Amino acid sequence: MMGRAVPAQRRCRGLALSVGVFLAALIAPAVRADDKLLLTGSSTVAPLAAEIAKRYESLHPGVRVDVQMGGSARGVTDIRHGLADIGMVSRALKADEADLTAYTIAFDGVTMIVNKVNPITTLTEEQIVAIYTGKIREWSAVGPGKGQIVIENKAEGRSTLELFLDHFKLSSPEIKADVVVGDNEEALKFVSVSPNALGYVSIGGAVYAADSGVPIKALPLDGVEPTIEAVATRKFPILRELNLVLARPPEGRVKDFINYAQSGEVYDLVKELFYVPIR
């Protein structure tokens, strides 16, 4: 069956619309490549990078900065393969990452956390190691608490995991975790709804969450309270850099953004997220 003929008037309107769209495309300013930036990687760096990006965009109309998480390993991989303009890594670069350059934008630490209702107030390093390797399974073995300890651990590729393993001299196969999560937010959420949970997260993330009413508490390590001051004075045992990383010298928009992210103009944002400014 033959289709009905399209009325001439409709054909004209359609033609006019097509021509209009074509002309608009010609007249509209082209989107410049250097007006778009993609940052990928660390979930610890991402919240700070996102806030810096918002302010940077407000100062540079037309510029768009996209921030995506996925872990520090993703930040390294993406920048090496040209999949991102800037990588985000929440640790110092390793010996086998000498091809990359790190630009530190803040400092942070890693702390153990429990649910706020847990009566435990401190754990020794020996107790933490025994818990994470399955030698201790009950809270009553390390303090006034009761019930079986529910262990949270991080997924591979997360710098928080690497720092935890390095500090406690452990390897991934030794960890007997009940729950494996990706980013700090997932760990905080899990511990906040699990009275018997034990986990570890960014100090900045823990302080921010507790200050916001999330029912978790951070535990001291080696007798040092997990505070912003302890990070600033370099007294806390597990410290780290929050870095933006590149595989080549910065140019153009990338260079301008990194310079801004390291400037005093964003120190208020660093402090609002409970990290420590670089100066």
Q: How far is CA 235 from the centre of its chain?
A: 23
Write down the pLDDT at residue 269.
97
What DSSP element (H or E) covers 18? Answer: helix 8-27
Q: Which contiguous run of DSSP H or E holds residue 72? A: helix 72-80
Give the relative orientation of helices 184-192 and 203-211 as an angle to the nearest 10 degrees. Answer: 50
DSSP 82: T
Q: Which domains does the chain have, with CATH numbers?
A: 33-106+242-272 (3.40.190.10), 109-232 (3.40.190.10)
Q: Which of 132, 182, 191, 159 is nearest to 72 (CA)?
A: 159
User: Distance between CA atoms of 189 and 182, rounded to whole angstroms?
Assistant: 12
Say how far apart CA 12 and CA 15 lie, in whole Å: 5
d(CA 175, CA 213): 30
* pLDDT, position 279: 85
* pLDDT at site 3: 44
Cβ neighbours of residue 215 closer than 8 Å, sequence gap 6 or more: 115, 116, 117, 192
**Cα 111 from Cα 93, distance rounded (Å):** 21
Q: Could you list the pLDDT tens digit for every one of the 279 residues in the chain?
A: 444 444 444 444 443 434 444 444 444 344 455 689 999 999 999 999 999 999 999 999 999 999 999 999 999 999 999 999 999 999 999 999 999 999 999 999 999 999 999 999 999 999 999 999 999 999 999 999 899 999 999 999 999 999 999 999 999 999 999 999 988 899 999 999 999 999 999 999 999 999 999 999 999 999 999 999 999 999 999 999 999 999 999 999 999 999 999 999 999 999 999 999 998
pLDDT at 33: 59
DSSP 8-state secondary structure symbol assigned to residue 141: G
Which stretches of the chain are assigned E, i.e. beta strand? Answer: 36-41, 64-69, 86-89, 101-115, 150-154, 179-181, 197-202, 216-218, 239-246
